[in-house]
Amino acid sequence: MSKDNIITQDFSEEMKNSYRDYAVSVIIARALPDIRDGLKPVQRRVLYAMDELSLAPEKPHRKSARIVGDTMGKYHPHGDSSIYEALVHMTEDYSLSLPLVDGHGNFGSIDGDSAAAMRYTEARLSPAAMASLKDLDMGLVEFAPNFDESEKEPLVLPATLPNLLINGTTGIAVGMATNIPTHNPGEVIDGVISYMKNPNITTEELMEDIKGPDFPTGGIIINAEEIKNIYETGEGKLRVRGKVEFEKSDGGRMNIVITEIPFTASGRKQKLYESLISLEKDKVFDEIYDVRDESSKEGIRLVVEVKKGRDYENLLNGLYQKSGLEDTYGVNLLAVKDKQPVTFNLKGMIKEFVEFQEEIYTKKYQYMLDKAEKRHEVVEGLIKAVDVIDLIIEILRGSKSVAQAKKCLTEGDISDIAFKSEESAIEAKTLNFTVPQAEAILQMQLSKLIGLELLKLHQENDNLLKNIAEYNLYLNSKKALHRAIKSKLKEYKKTFNRERRTELISVSGESYVEKIVEEELVVLIDKFGYVKSVDQNMFEKMTEEQRAEYKTIIPIMNTDMLCLFTTNANMYKIKMSLIPKGRLRDKGVLIHSLCKIGNEEAVLYIPMEELFESQLLFVTKQGYVKRVSGVEFESTRNQLQSSKLDGDDTIIYIKALSTEEILSESMKLALLTDSNYALIYSVNMINEYKKTSRGVTGIKLSKGDSVKHAQVIAPDDKKFNTDSKDIMVSRFKEGKRADKGKKIRV
């Protein structure tokens, strides 16, 4: 390769140009709909391919694989999966107000089930799609070569129904996205007609017809006051809710029955159901007794059964906050106009549709006028020919060729034609039929000379003259043209109109107020770290042998939180709603799964209420001691640092003490070291510190020695408990804080 053939190009510049080309391709040729027909390119190509296959609503369904194959092979070479996804989407009556494809077979469901493979399903066009495909042969829209220039495809369909507003759309391009909600067909048609009557109409006046989005799944828009601003700016957020009913259940319970889901959950109903199930399993709401999906072909029915005596309306507010039962739908009225992405307002979208209708209706009537005028020319010639039929027959019989006869009929040229009389020749010179008329005369059957056929010709001529006058009126009068457009729209309204499904209200979301019936529980933790709770009555029925199976037993209220302190100076809080309440034979759950305790060892378990009313006595391995007020641990966080530790120091003992116990001279702390030095002194010798402090020295340690056991001794306690054996308290040296203690034999 010579140097002359090498093009030097800056890498960054090439990247910019390539990315720009890619972005434009995604925006214009894939992700965004055309403002005129409301379709993305892949949707338009699928519908056009189906129209070419003659899959009209009255025709049999055809295999989806055939439709996808034709679309991909002729117009859309981007893979069969994207084409089939577009086909499936156009069948979904839970996504579109007017589905454009009539599917036969498993095309998925509102639950989120995916469609069967394209070889198993069949499809044909719906009546709504025909409103976009009719009269394609009249030259109403521009056609362009396909990707390999072997076929021609329409750049836009001659849609006479405002599809973009009725069916909406969603799409993500490069640096932009569109999200147009669905609307009620009848309301949109009324809005278009109102605009045609008054192009200066305001958004507020348009909203007398178009109340707001109308989703096929129904539901409720709760911030209806925002709709006007969205329609004026083309952007905004809607708060959508499912629709619910209350009904009585067994055992005095109430059911919250979800009969309509938010449009944001359309095609994902199963996920909404699973989110409700998780709220029950995770004990997020104590009021939930059971969650069931009783949906059927008759409609959606998700049941949340509420415990007896609980506030079901308050629970509903919680469901709105914690599940997909209420969601945000972001509106962005973005579409392509003249190969440019534009954000429209409501009036702008209607204006573009009306202008498109004026264009295609003008082309349609011009096409029909041209066709009628050509036919009228022929009919007029045939009628005129009947009056001189004997002369025409004489010309035909005397001519040597069709061309000679045709020249005589059009120009009066009688050269080389044999006539029976001179009068016929003179009359033939006066003939001046047009070329189309002459061709029609030469092809005319003798049966046309029958009286009834002659009458039909005159009737056809009259009808043609009437139609020509009508077409000229439409072409020369914008008012008449609008009358024709409105007439067609009214026909569509009779065909496609339905009752509004989505309710529009303006309410402020009410917050969930956690209301729990107070109950005395007992938390049981076994030696393996499994935790559960039982009610007080069940605990009282336990035998001593059964209680001995549990390492820790803590009385607590169900409204409280269980706090646990670890050797690594961390405090964790666990909501009682997370600890499963069960029977004695239930195993419970690992406490590690309820908090981030990891491999740390728990030193103290204490209810939050008790903690706030106590002071905690801390003892570390290196002999530091301190008292900390329980109020220090008040926080919204579920994990806190409980103390400061130096180096590899750890906490070996924590005890919750009341104010009376701290002030009492008789409450004492006993410490025992690895070298068996023992010391005991009054608890009131230990000062109170902040939780972030290390504390003070509690016992003087020799090098390499450390505290291995600690215990608060009450006046009646005679023994000090260790892991291996008990030691008499009287053997401990009674002294002051930070004494070395007395060496004892253990």
Residue type, 209: D
DSSP 326-340: EEEEEEE-EEEETTE
3-state secondary structure of 592: helix
Q: Any idea what DSSP says for residue 136? A: G
Of 357, 360, 356, 335, the residue nearest 346 (C-alpha): 335
3-state secondary structure of 726: strand
Instruction: Label each residue of 386-434 as H, E or C.
Output: HHCHHHHHHHHHHCCCHHHHHHHHHHCCCCCCCCCCHHHHHHHCCCCCC
Unique residue bearing structure tokens 């009437």: 466
Strands 550-557 and 520-526: antiparallel
Q: Report whether 461 contacts 376 (CB < 8 A).
A: yes
Strands 668-673 and 651-657: unpaired
Pinpoint the alpha helices (H) of 239-336. Answer: 269-281, 312-322
Q: How far apart are CA 319 and CA 511, in angstroms?
A: 10
Q: How far apart are CA 718 and CA 26, in angstroms?
A: 84
Residue-wise burial string across 352-366, b where 16 or more C-beta atoms lie within 10 A, e elsewhere: bbbebbeebbebbbb
Task: Give backbone dihedrals phi and psi of 410, rounded to 5 degrees, phi first.
Answer: -95, -35
CB within 8 Å of 225: residues ≥ 6 apart: 506
Q: Terminus-to-terminus CA distance in the chain, angstroms?
A: 94
User: If residue 494 lies in a helix (H) or strand (E), which one and from where to where?
Assistant: helix 478-496
Tell me which residues are annotated as active site.
Answer: 120
Beta-bridged to residue 679, according to DSSP, are 671, 733
